Amino acid sequence: MNGRMGVVSGRYRSLSDRAGEDTAPRTVIELFGRMDDGRSVCLLVHGLRPTFEIAPIGQWKVEDEIAPFLKDRLRSVATMDHVADIRGPEVKWTMLGQRPVWTVEVEQPFHVPALRKALKSQSWQVFSGDIPFVNRLFLDADLGAHVAFSGEVVDERNADGPLLKPSVLDAGGGGRYAVDVTVVTSVDRLEPTPPFQVPYRILSFDLETSIEHETVLCAAACIEDLGSGKRHSIPYTGTEPEILEALTATVLEHDPDIITGYNIDNFDLPRLADRTNILQRGRGSEGSIALFGWGRAPPLETELKRQRDALLPKRQSNRAWNLAGRVIMDTWWQARQALNPRRETLSFVATLLFPDDEAKHKMDVDASKMDEEWAARPEEVLTYCVRDAELPLDILQAIQAVRRKEAVAAVAKVPFETAANGSTSQLIDSLVIRLADQQQVAVPLTGSAEAKEGQITGGYVHDVEKGLHPWIAVLDFKSMYPSIMIGHNICYTTRLEGSLDDVEQPDNVHRSPTEVVFRHQDERKGLVPFLLEDLMAQRDEHKAALRAAKNESDELAVGFHDAMQYAVKILMNSFYGVFASGFYRFTHRDLGSSITAWARQNIKTIIAAVEAEGHGVVYSDTDSIFVRCPIDANAPRMLSDDEREAVEKGDTAALEKRDAHLAAVEEMVAFGTKLAQRYSKDAAVLEFEKGLSVFFSHGAKKRYIGNVVWPAEEMLIRGYETQRTDSFPYLTSTMRQVFRFALADQGDQLVEYARERVRALKQCTVPPSEVVLAKSCKGRVLRTPVKSADDVDFHKDYTNPNSMAQVRVAKQRIELGLGFTSGMKVSFLVTDAKKRPMEVAPWLDTEGDGGEVTYDGLFYAERLAAAVGRITEIFDWNAKDLMAGNRQRTLFSFGT
């Protein structure tokens, strides 16, 4: 058959010799995924052998012969246990110049770590020795997330046959896989294919559990087909084994590619794993498989023993959960990443995303009293369980999590699983290593770079001029760090050390402000600049296609190209971070510091030049400058609501004011565009990004606001408390209003408003829900479920845990039976700040404003006054004045 699939994940099987046969060791890769026609598939891929590379340490010139002693050493390598073959040499580029490199083939992938270690100790330099075997397939065959294949069908879901079906075993499989179709193929019958939206199937589930007995009371699942958009939900009741087995049967029947739920990583999955361990007693492996055998692997005892990608979901320490052939994607984690919500409970996120849909967030079941609720009204509990199984699908849909990860997988050429749960360096590795292989660049091991000594210097931040500034043009560099890497050919493979002897044209190099020298691209183009240029071109293509799709109102294409261009952008911006990190395989401490040094030089040069032209620069951060425009300061900066209304009615004065405003905006656009154009140079493209009719800062870096009038009208706020998730709602809304007054230059109203708001807090007339604080809390979970504060070790993350409010709150939550997850945001009220440390009480989502908790009004008033006071100070009122309600100034207070 022929087919196209989206790859979900892969793993390998080592085939041992069958009795009596003298066959060479073989390794088969199982690629799991879903085809464009909607069928799930397992490809059994043959023909790839595990290898790594070695080179001798020591001087060598390309014209040198291979010395006899080296040949001897190679022969001894060939006789080592588990070495199957040695091939080479091939001349490859390494940090120490061109080197002869031999490929060592081993019997099985799991032999590599020990051999690598042994060879290192025998003074061999090892390359490509830490690349997971499945990745090797993607690199060698240049595959991405979408693969076209041909092969022979060896099993189908509806076909007959025993678990150990001969056709599957003969094809190198382990038994019948839990997929629609199983296909045997080989490396040379796979090829990359253009990205398409895979009709993935998602299963979301939720458990209700007894707090007292830690048992599962009931469960629910909801299955969604992304191809048709169809969904259906299933409730589960009965005895605990019945529930677990029915849930497992649903997974196998509906065969999802992605499994989700809300906080399943830290709650539902650990619970299912624990309960499975207890319930299977006396039933052995068969019991485990029936209760929790969710993977696509054959339901065999041997499949339980795998460390990862097993038949049962597993996780190593605190990493993501994994299982054979499917991806576990926690909606809690996805929502947190995409939305950075102030609180992280399911009901809070649902309210945030679906404010008008009451049914999605009302809470009629008290989860903290689940045993009583279950006893008293099981039907309501089950109804909410079903809803909470469906909600994660709504949330994933709203934040486009699956489509975005799919786009990242396509751009980075990795399986969906790597895009969903992998690290940034894995994405970069996928692109860089395949190019290195093409260009005969040896691939160093992770951790082989010299450690970075201390931090590198980062971006330049210009002092802010405090106060109100009319008519400010914001210019910024387009993809600054990627442009610098391209423009100066910055790469691991182009950095020159010491003498420039082997450089053809010693004058024709890039020399950074920190005196690091990079080879010119005409002589040797770096891997990173090459990849970044390609990504930039891809982004332009998708942006063009996006515009075209928008014109044709092709919504499907709009979604696709938008996700793709966004994924390219994310990936491009990840390069700098990875290459500036201390541990990445292709890094050197001079790379990151050269990039930022060039960036600082660029921006500082421009600031100086613009100022020399007579245009003040009020602020600048890393890649942006805020420039005063030569526009009449009296030009109207904005129109009030009344004035807008008057414009609608054709009022002459209002129309005149509007026209004067628009004329000034146009002047600013012309000025900004021209300035950006004049200061763009080669790869360093400066763009006029925004026009502000007013800019305001109280004088702190990274904290400013502006009234944006171009390209669209909006209020811009950066850094201030309104942006922070560890602030409280009353402070946030107060500041937002204060900013409106500030931008309108209405100092008197601003101060009056601020005083009133501080007074309300002091008198505790503000509802408690408006003063809820939230902070994330770390800690190592020692035992699950977390039932007492002793089950979490806070000392690993905190020097003095109890001095941190969020830790004290987390401990109280644990005692209330609410569980704990490392990194979760905990919400709380300050009840008495005079105590040291301050007294805090957890804020539970089920609480309304009628609760008994009372907050410390004075504390909140002081915090509000402090935050707002920084703004009002510009208008001559400080925090103390705000607290007092009047200004404590006399004639004699000056200068004392």
The footprint of DNA (CB under 7 A) covers: 316-319, 340, 423-425, 446-447, 452, 455-459, 461, 476, 573-574, 576-578, 580-583, 592, 596, 621-624, 698, 700-703, 717-719, 723-726, 774-778, 797-800, 802-806, 825, 830, 833, 836-838, 863, 866-867, 870
Which of residues 337 and 440 has its CB atom nearest to DNA in the complex? Answer: 337
- Rounded (10°) angle between helices 331-339 and 346-353: 50
Residue with tokens 């997988």: 409
- Closest CB 316 distance from DNA, rounded Å: 6
Which of residues 324 and 771 has its CB atom nearest to DNA in the complex? Answer: 771
Type and span of the H or E element at 495: strand 495-496
- Closest CB 766 distance from DNA, rounded Å: 16
Phi–psi pair at 222, nearest 5 degrees: -140, 130
- Which token pair is 599? 């960036």
* 165 strand-pairing partners: none
- Closest CB 839 distance from DNA, rounded Å: 9
Can you tell me the distance from the alpha carbon of 874 to that of 751, in angstroms, rounded to the nearest whole number?
Answer: 10
Which of residues 303 and 344 has its CB atom nearest to DNA in the complex? Answer: 344
Task: Name the 3-class secondary structure at 727.
Answer: coil
- Which token pair is 195? 């990205």
Listed in sequence order, the residues at least 6 apart from 421 whose beta carbon sits closer than 8 Å to its beta carbon are: 319, 320, 322, 327, 328, 329
- Closest CB 199 distance from DNA, rounded Å: 30
- Closest CB 135 distance from DNA, rounded Å: 14
Which of residues 175 and 706 has its CB atom nearest to DNA in the complex? Answer: 706
Can you tell me the distance from the alpha carbon of 276 to that of 574, in angstroms, rounded to the nearest whole number?
Answer: 40
* 101 strand-pairing partners: 90
- Which token pair is 679? 């200061």
* Alpha-helical segments (H) within 329-400: 331-339, 346-353, 370-376, 378-398
- Closest CB 580 distance from DNA, rounded Å: 4
Q: What is the CA radius of gyration of the chain?
A: 31
- Closest CB 614 distance from DNA, rounded Å: 24
Q: What are the Cα distances from residue 572, in Å, to 144, 411, 568, 575, 579?
A: 17, 10, 6, 6, 12
- Closest CB 85 distance from DNA, rounded Å: 29
Q: Which of 525, 502, 446 is nearest to 98 (CA)?
A: 502
Can you tell me the distance from the alpha carbon of 481 to that of 358, in angstroms, rounded to the nearest whole number?
Answer: 45
- Closest CB 866 distance from DNA, rounded Å: 5
Can you tell me the distance from the alpha carbon of 471 to that of 616, in angstroms, rounded to the nearest whole number?
Answer: 11
Which of residues 283 and 880 has its CB atom nearest to DNA in the complex? Answer: 880
Which of residues 389 and 606 has its CB atom nearest to DNA in the complex? Answer: 606
- Closest CB 124 distance from DNA, rounded Å: 21
Can you tell me the distance from the alpha carbon of 316 to that of 265, in angstroms, rounded to the nearest whole number?
Answer: 12
Listed in sequence order, the residues at least 6 apart from 760 whose beta carbon sits closer than 8 Å to its beta carbon are: 766
Whether the Cβ atoms of residue 781 and residue 811 lie closer than 8 Å to each other: no
**DSSP code of 280?**
T
Which of residues 425 and 512 has its CB atom nearest to DNA in the complex? Answer: 425
- Closest CB 313 distance from DNA, rounded Å: 17
Which of residues 573 and 673 has its CB atom nearest to DNA in the complex? Answer: 573
Which of residues 182 and 827 has its CB atom nearest to DNA in the complex? Answer: 827
Which of residues 524 and 780 has its CB atom nearest to DNA in the complex? Answer: 780
Which of residues 154 and 804 has its CB atom nearest to DNA in the complex? Answer: 804
Task: Name the 3-class secondary structure at 218.
Answer: strand
Residue with tokens 């909470």: 388
- Closest CB 265 distance from DNA, rounded Å: 13
Can you tell me the distance from the alpha carbon of 634 to that of 851, in angstroms, rounded to the nearest whole number?
Answer: 52
**DSSP code of 168?**
H
Which of residues 110 and 798 has its CB atom nearest to DNA in the complex? Answer: 798
Cis ω for the linkage preceding 25 (within 30 of 0): no
Which of residues 102 and 576 has its CB atom nearest to DNA in the complex? Answer: 576
Other Cβ atoms within 10 Å of 601 Cβ, number: 15
Whether the Cβ atoms of residue 219 and residue 264 lie closer than 8 Å to each other: no
Q: What angle do CA 169, 171, 174 make, to 5 degrees?
A: 40
- Closest CB 808 distance from DNA, rounded Å: 8
Cis ω for the linkage preceding 100 (within 30 of 0): no
Can you tell me the distance from the alpha carbon of 212 to that of 189, in angstroms, rounded to the nearest whole number?
Answer: 56
Which of residues 100 and 132 has its CB atom nearest to DNA in the complex? Answer: 132
* 54 strand-pairing partners: 102, 126
Can you tell me the distance from the alpha carbon of 634 to that of 167, in angstroms, rounded to the nearest whole number?
Answer: 84
Can you tell me the distance from the alpha carbon of 619 to that of 461, in angstroms, rounded to the nearest whole number?
Answer: 8
Which of residues 44 and 675 has its CB atom nearest to DNA in the complex? Answer: 675
- Closest CB 429 distance from DNA, rounded Å: 10
Dihedral of alpha carbons 760, 765, 766, 772, sign: positive
Can you tell me the distance from the alpha carbon of 446 to that of 460, in angstroms, rounded to the nearest whole number?
Answer: 30
- Which token pair is 502? 């082997």
Dihedral of alpha carbons 779, 781, 787, 788, sign: negative
Which of residues 141 and 472 has its CB atom nearest to DNA in the complex? Answer: 472
- Closest CB 222 distance from DNA, rounded Å: 29
- Which token pair is 136? 């090797």
Listed in sequence order, the residues at least 6 apart from 380 whose beta carbon sits closer than 8 Å to its beta carbon are: 364, 365, 373
Which of residues 425 and 565 has its CB atom nearest to DNA in the complex? Answer: 425
| DSSP secondary structure, 6-33, as one string | EEEEEEEEEEPPPTT--PPPEEEEEEEE
- Closest CB 723 distance from DNA, rounded Å: 4
- Closest CB 476 distance from DNA, rounded Å: 7
Which of residues 76 and 605 has its CB atom nearest to DNA in the complex? Answer: 605
- Closest CB 805 distance from DNA, rounded Å: 5
